[in-house]
Homo-oligomer: A and B are copies of this chain.
Amino acid sequence: MSFILDARLEQDSLHLADLPLCQLRLSHDARYPWLLLVPRLAKVSEVFDLSAEQQAQLWQEVSSVSALWQCVTAADKINIATLGNVVAQLHVHVVARFQTDAAWPAPIWGRGEAEVYPAEMQQNLIALLKQEVLKKETTAQHWTWLV
């Protein structure tokens, strides 16, 4: 069985890069700088469905992306979560939060309507992320960019 991305995740986010285990995706919702990591594995829904090695790789990628995202966004707080109550396919949210954002201090999920990015703003975020990744050579060599 091969990995098939959930249709809602595909619709709601842009495929930025492939990391060793996960697809890295950027949410189309401009209200929050919001990344998603989706392990390229078939039929997994819970973290503990993964092997110990896969779990370690997943969390390593989540931690690494979280630190990079903090550098890119200068967020007040990074929120990390895997919920999956709506979309069962295992995916991890990494969200840059600001005391001035629309939902602060509440979680972002299930509130209000998504807003569309001005194209240059999304491109800027991606360019900044690429710059941050390039500063970390050992990280960069394991990432394959799709954008």
Contacts and interface: CB of A to CB of B under 8 A. Distances in A.
Contact-residue size bin, chain A (C-beta under 8 Å from the other chain): 20 to 34
Interface in A25-62: 45-48, 55-56, 59-60, 62
Contact of A66 (B48, B56, B88, B104): B48
5 contacts: A46-B77, A47-B66, A56-B56, A77-B85, A85-B105
A79 B70 contact: no
Contact of A67 (B48, B60, B86): B48
Contact of A81 (B59, B70, B82): B82
A81 B78 contact: no
A56 B86 CA distance: 28
